[in-house]
Amino acid sequence: MTKTLENLEYSTPEDPFFDFCLWEYRPLTSCDNKLRSSNLLFHSFDFTGLDERASDLIQAIREGFGVSHTVWGLKKIGDAIRWEFYFYDYRRVERERSITKLLQVLQPYVRCPVEVNEKLHYFMFSIDIDDALASGKRDLDEIHMYIGNPGSTVSSGICYSLKRSGTRLENYYFFFDAVKQQKDIVIKAMTSAYLDVTVVGLDQIFWPEMRNCEVIVVANKQGNDAVYFSRINVDQLIFFMRRLGYPKELLSFVEENRSRLDHLLFDVGYDYRMEGKELVILKSGYYGVF
Dump pLDDT digits (tens) for 219-253.
999 999 999 999 999 999 999 999 999 999 999 99
- Sketch the domain layout of the chain as residue ranges: 38-289
Which amino acid is it at 234?
A: V
Torsion, Cα of 194, 200, 206, 209 (10° steps):
-150
pLDDT at 6: 56
pLDDT at 7: 78
Q: Which residues of the chain have pLDDT under 70?
A: 1-6
3-state secondary structure of 42: helix
pLDDT at 101: 98
Q: What is the pTM of this model?
A: 0.95
pLDDT at 133: 97
- Residue 76 backbone zone (phi > 0: left; psi -120 to 50: alpha; other: beta): beta
Q: Please answer whether residues 61 and 113 qualify as being in contact, where contact means their C-beta atoms are separated by less than 8 angstroms.
A: no
pLDDT at 4: 46
3-state secondary structure of 100: helix
